[in-house]
A and B are shown apart, each in its own frame.
Chain A
Amino acid sequence: MSDDDIRIGVFICHCGTNIGGVLDISELTEYAKTLPNVVYSDANLYTCSEVGLSEIRNNIKDNNLNRVIVASCSPRTHEPLFRSTCQEAGLNPYLFEMVNIRDQDSWVHMKEPKKGTEKAKDLIRMGVYKASLLEPLEKMQVGIIPSAIVIGGGIAGMNSALNLANQGFNVSLIEKESELGGLLRYLNKLYPTNEDASNILETRNLVENHKKIDVYKSAVIEKIEGYVGNYKVVICQNKKTIEIEAGAIIVATGAIPLSPEGYYDYNGKTIISQLELEDILKKNELTANNITMIQCVGCRNEERKYCSNICCMTALKNAILIKEQNPDANVNIIFRDIQTQGVTYEAYYRIAREKGILFIKYVPEKPPVIKKDQIEVYNEFLNQVIGFPFDLVVLSMPLIANKDSEHLAKMLKVPLEENNFFLEAHVKLRPVDFATDGVFVCGSAHWPADISESISQSNAAASRASTILSKEMLEVEGSTAEVNSELCVGCEACIKMCPYSAIYKDEDTDIVVVNKVVCKGCGVCGASCPQNAITIHHFTSDQLIAEIVTYGGGE
């Protein structure tokens, strides 16, 4: 398209008094008319109101506009609306450009309206120069395989699979061990209702008998390929290689308890772990009468700074069970902070105290010491060391990340946090999503979680996966990166920078390729490329330079 054919319409928004109360809107409207290729300019009280939008639509038709600029608020909230308005009038949505004269101008320069108006002129001029160079782009459509792969057959994985299957999706559940159930298999009772763990473990039967769930046990994942809607996972089961396709993947690989070996003279007999106590209670073989539990063994220290979330409640549960069996038993819990958040867990803590379980706070500088016939601990309330005779010491060990998390994370191209738990997309608002579309996480793979938390999270992950699986097609962003193969030298700087793992190296040609389905057009690759080999569509170098040059007064 030659320069003569470009017809830009500029719509300037008062945004009530937000912009109109500060900037001189009529001056801006007149100014816009003086800029190259601008054939129409007008102001609206609210461009996003139906009146404003129909004005855009009508002018695209009446004035043959082929570029539209709205100078108003922020593209974060309003670009989708204006783009679809352009599309309704037959204009490619990528021929729309937004200029932010509110958040970045009238709001910041409320007390200097003249300067604010001058700045708005600069911003509008820059938008006009960029708009002249805009190109139409197409959004790609990708088909979606309407089934899911769940990795890990513990309670989180089983429950996710069950929910998705009940929603009507086919699910492949992959478990590395020879049976389903994960850590739940080793538990005796569950807090806070002291329900038999075996009752919840019955989920196994529902999963194994569900006609929409294929269970692969003793299966090892060898390879993961693809992208949202189209993943391919290669597993090895009984020396056979099986290829499974799915639109979404849920990671539910759980965590493992830290081994008590080497902590507090652990001997497996008189000094045992909480998990071993669980087994003794399950078999009804407890004979000890003086029992002391130590919390935070091997965590909340220099090596492992975190709190493992579930150990306080587990200790309370086993202490209560012991007291219920044998009210004369002396049960002490040596703790740092009791983590019983919420209504039911705090009530459980109260029950434990009412049953006569003794709680003694310790400080990390003076941890408890196990002597021959008694355990001694310094208590800061009493400012003295107190001792208890014991015949059983129980160590509360934290859950730690699975050893194979690193390998799995690499195959999935998703990140881990410093303790090797999987790192979600946003800790506040996207707690079970990964930044990589179509991959989700739940249960202790994400962070130590108890049964009820794991079930909540697994329902959540199933919901998030269903938002993809229920669609026939997925529309992906048209503004993506493209590599000029003639300029690329294969240095891989962009591959390291890409937060979405959208770039890979073609083994045959030794140059990099962008997967347009995965690319979000963030531009990090373009900025990092030493060869200027990467173009970000809709933010091309030409477009950005035109903006900068005109800002500096050039043509």
Chain B
Amino acid sequence: MEEKLKSVMVIGGGIAGIQASLDLAERGIKVEMIEKNACIGGRMAQLDKTFPTNDCSICILAPKLAECFRHPNITLHTLSEVKSLSGQVGNFNVKILKRARYVKEAQCINCGLCIEKCPMRIDDEFDMRLRKRRAIYIDYVQGVPSIMTIDRENCLFFTKNACRICEKVCEREAIDFDQKDEEINLNVGSIILATGYDIFDPHSIESLGYGRYPNVVTALEFERLICASGPFGGHLKRPSDKYEPKKLAFINCVGSRDIKNNPYCSSCCCMYTTKEAMIAYEHDNKIKTSIFYIDLRAAGKGFREYIQRGENEYAITYIKGKVAKILEDDQKNPLIIYEDINTSHVKQLKFDLVILATSMVPKKDALSLAKILGIEIDDYNFFKANSYQPQKSSKEGVFLCGTCREPMDIPNSVIDASGAAAKAAEVIMRV
């Protein structure tokens, strides 16, 4: 049909980047997909379930990962980052740095022998540091591409010039310590940014005790705690004593709608705290949950009804008000101090486990990426979007989708991603 079409670069391999890539690839446009991590999947892969259908997250994501990997129009560059950009819409030259994996992609078959033998124990970032991984590892069981990576920061060979056990046990001779970082130059017609978000670090709000009290965790840690593939194999236990908690509290807007931290609203916390409380109840129907909130934001399709179901069927109590402080008793039970708006009295409630709905924040490297690409950012380092064509960045031919431009939930990220694909296709077909 159309000959010699320019390709599109999609930066970021989370659900937004995946959707944008698949749409373009199906549209007949070639895609260069750039992912910083060793596997695609992004945040959605870390979630246990998704609202408002309570679908298992990885179960609905995994087929898309496989599709992305197998699609003849998609070239996947993992462990890769953009280093420079020149040219203009229709003819961008992008320099990519692809870090060495130290594992031959074509040889590794993910048999897992190397993992068993690797002597290192490192905090597992995918599991929110709730368990250990090895120095040779795969991000998560269903990760794509389904091959190992050696973490050179922690591998004994790179740190102490020792070990090399993985090399000895690998029957496929897939380990290659001589691999070097590579520079790749790509020419594309348009660029889509789908770099996602980071989680606000609640250590800085000292009054909530995160980091000091073991039974105060973040919502993303809770997703891993309750997930079947998480550190406790799907049995909800609290970190301090592995006791199965019965009284949960969620605190919304931690680091959000807060002028000392992030004045903006993170968009999906009202919904996901309700979801997490529902899943907890499904694990153990003796669990009772309180959710502390400022406004309950549930404007999406079926969302208001979801909150009502939470109240009526899942033993969730919604308490309006911002929590002043968390203390801890001698059994390490968190105590929440808050103002009861009905009586204006300060009250104290004891819980087994407290979950902080920490806000979405821009990626640490958002600012430097914006500088490389020459696009504008907003007051908080989210990429600045056009108000009435929200997938357009400030630069022609560079499009935005998902949480890199503003906090949003999965359906909106998917809409954004397809939207960005349409805008990129418009550019490609015009040139």
Contact = CB atoms under 8 A, between A and B. Distances in A.
Contacts of A430: 414
B177 interface: no
Contact of A77 (B63, B407, B422): B63
A429 interface: yes
Q: Which of A167, A308, A430, A472 has the most CB of B within 10 A?
A: A167
Contacts of A383: 342, 344
Contacts, number: 189
Contact of B425 (A16, A167, A429, A431): A167
A168 B426 CA distance: 8
Given A300-B304, A447-B301, A470-B27, A16 B109 contact: yes
Contacts of B66: 77
A307 B388 contact: no
A31 B9 CA distance: 50
A119 to B, nearest CB: 21
Interface string A159-190: 00001001110000000000000000000001
Interface string B331-360: 000000000011010000000000000000
A485 interface: no
Interface in B49-71: 50, 52-53, 55, 60, 62-64, 66, 70
B297 A166 contact: no
A346 interface: yes
Contact of B341 (A340, A381, A426, A470): A381
Contacts of B419: 456-457, 459-460, 463
A125 interface: no
A342 B264 contact: yes
Given A432-B415, A471-B28, A305 B308 contact: yes
A464 B422 CA distance: 8
Contacts of A50: 106
A1 interface: no
Contacts of B265: 340-343, 345-346
Interface string B391-431: 10000000000000011101110111111111101100110
Interface stretch (A192-200, A367-375, A502-510, A524-532): A192-200
Given A167-B426, A460-B418, A463-B27, A380 B52 contact: no
Contacts of A339: 295, 297, 299
B198 to A, nearest CB: 15
Contact of B264 (A346, A455, A459, A466): A346
A45 interface: yes
A428 B422 contact: no
Nearest to A167: B429
Contact of A195 (B55, B388, B411): B388
Interface string A323-352: 000000000000001111111111100100
Nearest to A300: B304
Contacts of A344: 387, 406
A185 to B, nearest CB: 16
B267 interface: yes
Interface in B79-131: 106, 109-113
Given A344-B406, A429-B414, A472-B1, A452 B388 contact: yes
A17 interface: yes
Interface string B296-308: 1111111111001
A240 interface: no
Nearest to A454: B388
Interface in A67-105: 76-77, 80-81
A163 B342 CA distance: 52
Nearest to B257: A346
A306 interface: yes
Interface string A301-319: 0000111110000000000
B342 A305 contact: no
Nearest to B430: A166
Nearest to B295: A337
Given A193-B387, A467-B23, 17 more contacts: A16-B111, A163-B423, A163-B426, A192-B387, A195-B388, A307-B299, A337-B296, A339-B295, A341-B297, A342-B267, A342-B408, A347-B263, A429-B19, A459-B420, A461-B418, A470-B1, A471-B28
A-B residue pairs, 3 tightest by C-beta: A459-B419, A460-B418, A463-B422
Interface of A: 14, 16-17, 45-46, 49-50, 76-77, 80-81, 163, 166-168, 190, 192-193, 195, 200, 300, 305-309, 337-347, 350, 380-381, 383, 417, 421, 426-432, 446-447, 451-452, 455-457, 459-464, 466-467, 470-472
